[in-house]
Structure 1
Amino acid sequence: MKIGMLIGALALPAVTFAQQAYTLKGKVGQVEPGAKAYLDRRVNGETFLDSAVIKNGSFEFKGTLKSPYLVMLTVDHKGTGLGSHGMDADRRLLYLDNTTFTIAGTGNISDAVITGSPVNKEHDRYKLFISAYDSAMAGINKDFGGATDAQRNDTAFTNGLNTRFHAAIDEKKALQRRFISENPNSFFSIVALKELAVMNNMNLKELTPLYNGLTAALKKSPAGQEFYQSMETEKALGIGAPAPDFTQNDINDKPVKLSDFKGKYVLLDFWASWCGPCRAENPNVVAAYKKFHDKNFVVLSVSLDQPGKKAAWLGAIEKDGLQDFVHVSDLKYWDNAVARQYGVRGVPTNYLIAPDGKIIAKNLRGEQLDKQLTGLIVNK
């Protein structure tokens, strides 16, 4: 049983905005020669790592960005390398913004105090606002972590944890909706909207009025414009809309078009060899293919595997028994052209497309795919 949910940053369409400068000044306690500080940023799934030597307990980072951005600050006190500390690494999540600010303390960076940063002060306020969710999840994880093997195999025990987990998620969503409504000019209202979009599968009926309630200034901000574009992409990919055509090369570098399969039911399936949930879902897709492939059904699989990782992609196809699917990829990770065209924010993601080329269902998981195809193909 897995308790917990990771709400990641959305992979939204790129928008061009003016770059603005930031300066982060740091101060930590005693360090050894060779000590360094690291800034870890993830943009559309790609990692960017900056480093700075710590001299006399001080370090500094400078750069540009177009809007506040969440980063992981790590301090290697002993100078032994970023990966040498494992789970015991001295880390701190914080936001960069177009300002000069300081993080300072006499010990670990995780206990240091941030000053001069309005966005980090606002982040603390937002976290406090939704802290009931964090407390609930901490209790659930504590109970699960301390459970015996017998308890973990007990249906009543695990069902109880699941009930608490879903209640915590519902509470978080309610708190985020309230925060957005009460704070229409806060950057973290956009952050909350992005998390809600992940949790409610980009339900525009809920998201649109919340977005419309934001101030004009926040809507015009880079984050506001990015979220607006994500909603526009979702509108163009709604149920009943024509599935946008595309061309991408298959495993033999031969071009494949979505429109090549017009006249068939197509499951357009976005996945990757590195994606655990995708690999776990693959048996369900294989089962559906075996059941319906002779009834005008095909699977067109788009991989978000990384540059230079074709062997991993092909290996996963073989290991998961996906050889009968049609596979395409440009091996550009989150920058995959088709994934960007379809506004893919996470994998697995799928679209079921009718013979006339229109989208008829989205994100079918487990038995949902079998039931949908049975209703369309067998019971029509």
Structure 2
Amino acid sequence: MRTIALTAACLLPVLAFAQEGPYTISGSIGKDNKFEKAYLYSSNSKGRVIDSVAINDGRFTFTGKTDIAARAFLFTGNTLSSSFTANHLVFYLEQGNIKVESADSIANATVKGGAANTVHQQYKTASSDVTKRSDALSKKYYGTPPAERQQEAFKQQYQADNKAIAAAQQKVLTAFIKAHPNTTVSLDALTEWAGYDPDPAVAEPVFKLLSPTVRKSKSGQQFANLLESQRRTAIGVVAPEFTQNDTLGNPVSLKDFRGKYVLVDFWASWCGPCRQENPNVVAAFNKFKDKNFTILGVSLDNENGKSFWMQAIHDDQLQWTQVSDLKGWKNEAAKMYGVQGIPANFLIGPDGKIVAKNLRAEALEKKLASLLQ
């Protein structure tokens, strides 16, 4: 489970207002603020809300209309690309007047106005001690020399500390949802905590604390579907079968690989982290391809990106079978496996059962070595 996550899933609305109404966001982030623009990302029942305004003398104002209370993100920067930094604020875009105030940075701003923002602030307050512990652990980890991180004693202590923080966060979240079962804020907090690959045995009891109205909402059903996909792809279960066309248009089925260890690797040509991970996957393939192991790549490129997909296969020297239905994020296999982010992979044994999930870099080689050497 994750304590902090910034994902597209967080932008989906949960409960609708009776009708559309206006909002005004008044921001003040200090006269010494060095950024020129503020960027707003959120959603309403019609789709995403993306807006930007100039920052003048440390002040900015957004106006618009919405029919829902939806999670939103405020970024500041001089250009759109430069705004995607740690300098951001999470709040709720809802009807009425919302004040965002800070003496120095948008990341340190307080938010006032609206029922959802009031409840969200209560959750932030309840989680503050756990958040500080998580931030301190992260700072300690990245402040430790890489060689020391590989030492077994460091790994064990880090895992123990991480486990303790996760347990504390779950306790805070459970208490909060019990007290606030009818709000979108609780579902968003659960989604954020659960991450891309939640353990249904842990997350489902917390999910059931939400009111039926929230659980049956669009975002509630999306989370329920994610839990179901996690059950379908749990370690030890038979991997869901699928068939998609390869780069030449020939159908390829997962069952064609029965009898071998096969890594089902979800990626895309446009995915930077995927392309960065590809050299590790290539190294594992070259090391174990003659030991009853292969890879089945599944691309989340779309029809317009087919040429980029083909070029990426060539550039990254991916010598294994590649398939796609060219539907992007609507890829049927990706939906079947509950893929919420890429890269993602599933190691499947000769008997068709899932052996491991989301193996990266040395973890992939280590797992394959334990099975094949």
CA distance 1:52–1:364, shift in 2 (3 Å): closer
CA distance 1:132–1:297, shift in 2 (3 Å): same
CA distance 1:104–1:85, shift in 2 (3 Å): same
Per-residue CA distance 1:225-257 (angstroms, 9 max, x = gap) = 322221112122233433333233333344433
**1:326 Cα deviation from its structure 2 partner:** 1.0
CA distance 1:232–1:38, shift in 2 (3 Å): same
- The equivalences for 1:1-380 within 5 A come to 7-9=5-7, 21=20, 23-28=22-27, 38-41=39-42, 49-51=50-52, 58-65=61-68, 68-74=69-75, 82-83=79-80, 92-97=89-94, 99-103=95-99, 110=106, 114-136=111-133, 138-139=135-136, 152=145, 155=148, 169-183=162-176, 184=178, 185=181, 187-198=184-195, 201-305=197-301, 308-322=304-318, 324-370=319-365, 372-373=367-368
Per-residue CA distance 1:155-179 (angstroms, 9 max, x = gap) = 3899999788656643542232112
Aligned equivalents of 2:121, 2:344: Cα separation in 1: 32
Aligned equivalents of 2:214, 2:132: Cα separation in 1: 30
SS at match of 1:238: coil
Larger deviation: 353-362 or 340-349?
353-362
CA distance 1:134–1:224, shift in 2 (3 Å): same
**1:301 Cα deviation from its structure 2 partner:** 0.6
Partner letter of residue 303 of structure 1? S
TM-score normalised according to structure 2 size: 0.73
SS at match of 1:285: helix
Aligned equivalents of 2:102, 2:234: Cα separation in 1: 53
SS at match of 1:130: helix
CA contact (8 A) 2:92 2:116 kept: yes
CA RMSD of aligned residues (A): 4.5
CA distance 1:327–1:203, shift in 2 (3 Å): same
**1:325 Cα deviation from its structure 2 partner:** 1.0
Aligned equivalents of 1:356, 1:153: Cα separation in 2: 38
How many residues were matched structurally? 356
SS at match of 2:80: helix
Runs of 5+ consecutive residues of structure 1 not aligned to the other structure: none
Runs of 5+ consecutive residues of structure 2 not aligned to the other structure: none
SS at match of 1:223: helix
TM-score normalised according to structure 1 size: 0.72
Aligned equivalents of 2:86, 2:207: Cα separation in 1: 38
**1:212 Cα deviation from its structure 2 partner:** 3.2
Aligned equivalents of 2:9, 2:333: Cα separation in 1: 13
Partner letter of residue 7 of structure 2? A
Question: Percent of aligned positions with the same letter in both sequences?
Answer: 35
**1:277 Cα deviation from its structure 2 partner:** 4.2
CA distance 1:88–1:169, shift in 2 (3 Å): closer
Partner letter of residue 335 of structure 1? K
**1:107 Cα deviation from its structure 2 partner:** 8.3
CA contact (8 A) 1:27 1:58 kept: yes
**1:302 Cα deviation from its structure 2 partner:** 1.2
Partner letter of residue 294 of structure 1? D
Aligned equivalents of 2:7, 2:25: Cα separation in 1: 26
